[in-house]
Every structure is written in C-alpha cells, then in structure tokens.
Structure 1
Amino acid sequence: MLKIIAAQCIVLHHLAFYGPMSDHVRPFAPMFIGWLDTYARIAVQVFLVTSGFLAAKSLAPAGMPGIADPLRVVWRRYVRLVPPFMVATALAVGASALAGAWMTHYSISAMPTLLQLAAHALLLHTVLGYESISAGAWYVAIDFQLYALLTCLIWMAGKLAVRRSVPWLVPCLVIGGVCASQWYFNRDARWDAWAIYFFGSYGLGVLAWWARDPARHRATVVLLAAAILLPTLGALMVDFRSRIAVALVVACALVCISRRQNHHFGPSWLRMGGMGSNVGKISYGVFLVHFPVCLIVNAIFTRFVPAQPLLQAFGMLLAWGSSMLAGAAFYRWVQLPLSRLSSRGVGRASADSAVPPFLQPTLSTLK
C-alpha cells in the first residue's frame, strides 16, 4: 500500500513539475498543481524507509552481524539493480529524442555522452555531477549507496565482535548513522549526492524491521522504538524538515502494522492481496519508466492538441494511466527476466567471480 501511494505521488509530481501540460492546467487548479509540484515529491521518503526495512530483512533479519563477504553482497545488488535501470535509461534517451521533434522544453535532455552513460551504468552520475538522463535516476544511485553502506556497517560489526556475540552492536552502528545523518548531513544540501544524507530515513526503516518482530523481548522493542522516536524528534525540534517527519511516520506505521499483521490488524483494505499486491510489485517499474512515458504524452499533447485546460488535464490523466501500464509491462518483460538471469549468474558464480576483476585482489586480501 505504501509503495503504491508513493509511486503515484511521484508520477503526479513529475507531471506537475515538468509540464508543459500542467502549465495549461495550473491557472484553473493552482492549489492542486502547486501541491503536487511542491509536496508530492516527499513520497520518496516512503521508498527510502521501506527500502531500509526490506534491506534489514535481507541482510540482518535479527540485527546480528552475519556478512562475511561484503563485496559479493554489494555486487549481487548491483547486477540486480543496474540492468533494468539502464533499459529505462535507454527508453528515456529515445523519448527525449522523439519529444524533441515535437516540442522545445527544459525537461528534454540532450543526447548523452559516452562518459555520461558510463557514469549512469556505474551509478556514479550524482557523485560525478552528471545531469540525470531520467527523473528519478538519482534515487537508484542513492539506493545502491545506502544498501552498500548498510552492508559495510553489518560487516564491520562482525569484525569488531569476532570472538564474542554482541547483539547490540549492529543496531548501535545504525542508530549512530541515523543520528549523524539527521543532525548534521541531512541539514546540508551539499551532501545530497551521498548516502549519508538520506541514511536518516533509510536507517529508520532498518530499525523498524528489527522492532516489528513479535517474538522480540518487550524491553528490546521499547529500546528500538525509543531509538526511532527520540533522536528523530530531537532532530526535528532543532531543524524541522517535512521529509524527516514523513519518514518517521512511515517507520512507525511499519512497526505498528507489521507487529499486528498476524492478528488481522486494521480494516480489510490494509490487508492487500491479489490486485493490490500486483500493483505494489510494479511500483518500481512505474518509478523507472514513467518519465519517458510522461515526456512522450506531453510532446503529443503539445504538438497535436489545443492548449485548452480540460484537454491538457485529460492528457495528464492519460500520462498517469499510461505510466501504470508501462510499469506493468516493464515489470513483466524486463524486470522479471533480468532478475532471473542475474540470480542464476550470481548463484553459479564463486565468491571471486561474483565481483568485477578489479575488485578481486581486494576480496582475496579480505579473505
């Protein structure tokens, strides 16, 4: 449910932000278009928190160190993430070329250089200062950075506690990262190309996974809940940021609902299955491909449809619906096949062959 809502907000935000259809609609619905333009983008926080939630489930479900080979873990994430991202990037390049033949607008990207494409393939475009080819491309790079950072924290905890079990070490490292992010790095926009800027939200999702375990001792749950609430509330009192407030609400919701999911907590619409579950699965595909779809629809309505508010509003609705269909097709015909291929490749590979050749000497040293 959270992913569905967030994906729709992001699509509508980009429709309102980039235009030009929204430029014709704005005078007749200024508050609605203005809200989408200014505030709907905060839905990215939902993706950040839920990504941390699911990363904790995968990497350290009990909050204990257990990663012996961090490079292989990070490489496995990379080979699952980048192929569909590059397909979506290619679609964005084609959409920009086609839209450029029908309209002139700042949302149309110039033909990328080889270095720009290489930076995207390495997920370094934000760090190296290259313009993103598609809206949302920055998030993919940040998500990979955050996953790698969490992997390193868990691995480092294992190295610090080689000879004895220290059950609180991993949570303490994550809490430290959350505090550093919320109290310092997230308050300085110069860090927004790096994972530490967003770790305040991502780490809340990680802590939420550990706090949601119904089998965990009540005192431990209270401590984890305090770790979620107190530092974040303090950071908001010092410097209120709506994005951090939304992340806190999402993390608390994940804890409350998932702790009671076995008891049929809440109304039936919260227990989403069937169609709702399928829409949730395609949300990442919608996130990846909605920009080229919206760009093409904007270009068609600019070139061939009169600039009347009702017609342009219909174009926005058409772009929204088309993005959903494109996301479903992308999930079915791109994400799933590429995911199967990458899973087979990583599953068959040895530890050495699971990383690029230039990282293999480092891996051998760690071993």
Structure 2
Amino acid sequence: MSSAPSRSPLIDMVKGLACITIVWHHLAFYGPMSDIAQPLAPSLMAWLYDYGRMAVQVFLVVGGYLAAASLAPLGVARFDHAGNAIAKRFVRLVVPYAVALVLTVVVSALVRTWVAHPSVPDEPTLSQLLANALLLQDLVGEDALSAGVWYVAIDFQLFSLSVLVWAGVRALPGAWAHRHAANLARGLIVAGVAASLWFFNRIAGLDMWALYFFGAYGLGMLAYWAVRAPRAHGWLAAIVLLGGAALAIDYRGRVAVALVTALCLVFALRSERVRSLSGLSQWAPLVQLGQMSYSVFLVHFAVCLLANAVVGHLWPDSPAINALGMLLAFVLSLAAGRWLYLRVEQHVPSWSTALRWQAGLVGTGLLVALSNNWA
C-alpha cells in the first residue's frame, strides 16, 4: 500500500468548488432575487437552476472516499464497535445541523409575515420538527425545514450502511472469513455499487434511501482504494465498468458526474505533480472553504432567505440591485458558515450537546407556532 494521504488540500479544494456551486444553485432556485435578476444573465441562471444541483454528486463521491479512509483503509473495519461509530457520526452531524435549523426557523418566522413567496417555509409543526431533528423527515413524509438538509440524512444513512457492512463481515465466523475479510467487504461494496447504479438509482421513489445514492458513495470508496493501491488498474477498471454500464443501461447526468469525479480523484491523488499544486498558497481560500463546506451548506439557506426577503421587498423592479443582492447573500453565507464552523463544528460534540440543540430546535419551532397563533 502506498503512503498517499487519506485527506489532502486537493480534496478540500474539490469540496470548496462543490460548495460554491450548491450555494449559487440555491440562490438561482429560490427567489425572488433570482427571478428579478434573471434578465441580466438568463443562460447562467438557467444553468445554475437546472445543473447546479449536480455538485451534490461530488460531495457523495468525496464522502465515500473519506468514509473508506476513516472506516476501512485496508478493506477491513478499523473501528471497534459499529454502534459507537454510528452514534459518533450522528452527534457530529446533528449538532451544527440543529444550530443551523434553529436559525432557519427564526429567519423564516421573521420574513413569513411580509414576504409572500414559495421559497419561504411554512410554519413548522411538532411532527415536522421532531422528524427533522432526528434526520427522518423524508422517510416519514414531513417537509424539510431548510433546503438541502435531505443530504445530511442521506449522508448519515450511507455512513451507517457502510459501518454495518464492515461490522457484518468482521462478525463472520471461521478462519477463512477472517483471512479474506478485506476481499469480502470490498466485494460487497462493489456489489452494492452495481445494485445502486444499475437498479435502485433508476427508481425516483427511492431517493430518500441510501441505496439510491450508494452508487456515487461507493465509487468514492473504490477511488480511495485505487489511490492507495500499488497499481490502480484493477480499481480503475471496476470504476469504469460500474459507471459505464450504468450509463449504458440508463444515461443519467448525475451518474456521469459521479463517475468523472471518482476518476479525477484517482488520477489527481496518484499524481505527485497534481498533489503538489494543491499546496500552493493561492489555493488557500478554496481549501479553507472546503474545510468549512458542511457549515456553509447548513447555514446558507437561512442567510439567502433573509437576503431574498429584504432585497426583493425593497427593490422588486431592479435587476441590477437584486443581482448584487445575490452576490451579497453568497458572501454573507460564507461568513455565517465560517462562524458556525469555528464556534460549533470544530468543537468535539457530545450527546448532551446534541440533545440540547435538538430540544432547542423543537422548542423554537413550537414557540414560533404559538406566537403566530397568539398574534
């Protein structure tokens, strides 16, 4: 096995670019600023609206790459207990997530009374708040409290599924299973990728389950093992075969993006020349954005919602001012994401912290609903 790092500035640069794309996709998707500014750049707005969401596939592939690096870099489980690994992941995800949703609930309540636009979430219900706090909103048919939070639930499902696969292989009895645990686990991952890309990902009604997205996530795992392997030919062949067959069966742009992302990661991270480029100082802001991309992803909708409400309400007929408002919303989203990253995400969370913020989310939502009823 090579000594290639599991995490590099190049990975963070990729996440930073994907984060920028997602924020601008939501700025184009959720008006009214984008509706008013659209005549200034109709083609760009249309591209962001229709294709900006494809950046999620980049996050899925990178997520699988990092999961393989942390859970099973050699193909066998490196964690001691599946339950502990899953619980730690839940807590790390849910603390900044709950903080961001509290902010979104408050901002939505502030703008709901004076801005009539479909992008403003409705008043939350108790069942909706509980479902969102537990990452179950799509599974139980409740609306999300913020844009993009479905991804957090899917990430948790994918991570948990991966943990259970490796823990299950490790629990198999017999000396043969123990000797071949790495190959068995990797074989199951490859089979899961094939099942997802060739079957489950073609059923739109399954898009709230991990199996729908496991193809892209698993391609990221294969990319990690290709980077780590002395020779990458076998893993590259598997990635191309799995992705190429999926596109031949049913061409999907999201699968093409995931396939290209996985292949680019392998070629880039196996290239000493490319890896060295990512360390240049001029890329530092993009690397930093990648490191805090989760926090930016979580908090940007609340910031964009407030900017949309203010600018769209005060200047409803000025495309130029609304375009500037979109730019301002983007900059403020990065600032808010940095605050959330430094103050919340970087700190090691605990179950008590998670429960406190989940209770705060539910309580804030109920207070908003009660205050509206009293008004």
TM-score bracket for the superposition, by shorter chain length = 0.7 to 0.9
In structure 2, distance between residues paired with 1:276 and 1:28:
27
Which residue of 2 is the match for residue 236 of structure 1? 247
Please list the CA deviations of residues 76-103 of structure 1 after superposition, one character each: whole Å capped at 9, or x if unmatched.
1111111111111111111111111331
Q: Is the 8 A contact 2:95 2:353 kept in 1?
A: no
Q: 4+ residue runs of structure 1 moved beyond 6 angstroms?
A: 343-346
- Letter paired with 2:342: R
- Letter paired with 1:227: A
- Letter paired with 2:245: G
In structure 2, distance between residues paired with 1:266 and 1:78:
32
Could you say if the C-alpha distance between residues 217 and 29 of structure 1 is closer, same or farther in structure 2, counting changes exceeding 3 Å? closer
Which residue of 1 is the match for residue 333 of structure 2? 323
TM-score, L = length of structure 1:
0.88
**1:246-285 map, 5 Å:** 246-260=257-271, 263-265=272-274, 268=277, 274-285=284-295
Which residue of 2 is the match for residue 210 of structure 1? 225
Which residue of 2 is the match for residue 25 of structure 1? 37
Which residue of 2 is the match for residue 89 of structure 1? 101
Match of 2:22 among 10, 14, 37: 10
The secondary structure found in structure 1 opposite 2:139 is: helix
TM-score, L = length of structure 2:
0.86
- 2:59 corresponds to 1:43: no
- 2:79 corresponds to 1:79: no
Which residue of 1 is the match for residue 179 of structure 2? 165
The secondary structure found in structure 2 opposite 1:124 is: coil
In structure 2, distance between residues paired with 1:303 and 1:162:
68
Aligned length: 338
In structure 2, distance between residues paired with 1:11 and 1:72:
33
In structure 2, distance between residues paired with 1:56 and 1:306:
48
Could you say if the C-alpha distance between residues 193 and 310 of structure 1 is closer, same or farther in structure 2, counting changes exceeding 3 Å? same
Please report the RMSD computed on the Cα atoms of aligned residues, expressed in angstroms.
1.9
- 2:214 corresponds to 1:199: yes
In structure 2, distance between residues paired with 1:275 and 1:27:
31
Moved more, 306-315 or 138-147: 306-315
Which residue of 2 is the match for residue 123 of structure 1? 135
- Letter paired with 1:297: A
The secondary structure found in structure 2 opposite 1:226 is: helix
Please list the CA deviations of residues 187-227 of structure 1 after superposition, one character each: whole Å capped at 9, or x if unmatched.
010100000000000000011111101xx342xx3221111
- 2:203 corresponds to 1:188: yes
In structure 1, distance between residues paired with 2:248 and 2:157:
28
Per-residue deviation, 1:123: 0.8
Q: Is the 8 A contact 2:36 2:316 kept in 1?
A: no
Which residue of 2 is the match for residue 358 of structure 1? none
Please list the CA deviations of residues 295-316 of structure 1 after superposition, one character each: whole Å capped at 9, or x if unmatched.
0000001222242111111111
The secondary structure found in structure 2 opposite 1:212 is: helix
The secondary structure found in structure 2 opposite 1:95 is: helix
Which residue of 2 is the match for residue 133 of structure 1? 145
Q: Is the 8 A contact 1:66 1:155 kept in 2?
A: no
In structure 1, distance between residues paired with 2:58 and 2:159:
16
In structure 1, distance between residues paired with 2:353 and 2:142:
30
Could you say if the C-alpha distance between residues 60 and 344 of structure 1 is closer, same or farther in structure 2, counting changes exceeding 3 Å? farther
Q: Is the 8 A contact 1:12 1:40 kept in 2?
A: yes
Where in structure 2 are there 5+ consecutive unaligned residues?
A: 1-12, 355-375
Q: Is the 8 A contact 1:67 1:158 kept in 2?
A: no
